[in-house]
Amino acid sequence: MAATAAAIAMDVLGHGLAVPDATRLRGEPGRPPAQVDKAFDRWRETLPASIGRLRQVLYDDEDRRAESLAFLDTVITAVSAKIDAESAGTGSTEPDDAPTATERAWRDERIRFYYELLALRAEFDPEARGGPAFDTAEGLESFLAGIESN
Amino acid sequence: MAEVRLTPKFIKALQKLGHKQMDRAKKSLLQFQANPRHPSLHFEKLSGSPYCTIRVDMNHRIVVRDEGDDRYEMVDIGNHDYVDRSYG
C-alpha cells in the first residue's frame, strides 16, 4: 500500500512540477506547437483521475496517512513556488514577451491543480471542519468585523 | 441566503492576509453568502469533490466545501488566481 501511495504521490508531483512550464516552452522554439498542445491536453485530461487516486489512497492507507499528508504539504509548497516563478517569468510587459494563449492556459491549469491539492489537504485536516456558522448578513458581518490581521 | 461556516483553518488563513486583502476577502464572503454564484466571485467547481473556489482578488481564492442544502464551509485561502480561464 505504501508503495502505491508513493507512486501516486510521485505521479501527482509530476503533474504539478515536471510538465514544461511557460518559460521553458518559450526556450524551446524548435518544439512544434502541436506537441506542446498535446502534452497540455494530456495533462489536463489525466489530472482529475490522478487527484482521485491520491484521495483514495489517503483514505485507504490509514497507517501511512500522516506521512503522505506531510509529503502532500511539500508538494503544495513546491507547486505554489513554481506558479510564482512562472508568473515572474511571464510578467514582462514587452509585446514580444507577452505570454501566449497556451502559456496562460498552462499556468491556469497549474493553478487549478494547486487548488485541487489545497482542497484534498483540507479534506484530511480536522481544523478545516466546524466553526461558527452564519445564515444572516448581519451575523457574518459582525463576526468578520472582529477578525484582524496577525 | 446561504449558510456560511468559517472553519478554524480558514480563520487562521484570513488572519494571515494583509489589511487590504482581508477586507476584500470579507467582502467576497458577504457576497458569497448573498449569492454563491455571483459573477464577481468567479465560482469554480473542483473536479470529483464537493469543493469549489471563489475569487478574492487577483492573487487569492477561497476554498469552499459545499455541504449541500445551501450550506458551505470556508476551509482555506490560496494565494494564486487564474489568468484568463473561464469558470463553471
- Name residue, grid cell 492573487: B59
Classified as helix, coil or strand, B68 is strand
Are A143 and A132 within 8 A, CB to CB?
yes
Going A150 to B6 to B8 to B9, the CA torsion angle's sign is negative
- pLDDT tens per residue, range A13-35: 555 554 455 445 555 555 666 66
For the record, the C-alpha cell of B23 comes out as 477586507
What tens-digit pLDDT sequence spans chain B (88 residues)?
999 999 999 999 999 999 999 999 999 999 999 999 999 999 999 987 899 999 999 999 999 999 999 999 999 999 998 876 654 4
Q: Could you say which residues from 77 to 136 on chain A have a Cβ atom under 8 Å away from some Cβ of chain B?
A: 80, 83, 99, 104-105, 107-108, 111-112, 114-116, 118-123, 125, 127-136
Write out chain A residues lying below 8 Å of B53, CB-based.
115, 119
DSSP code at position A15 = I
ipTM of predicted complex: 0.93
Q: Using the CB atoms, write b or e for B20-31: b if 16+ within 10 Å.
A: ebbebbbebbee
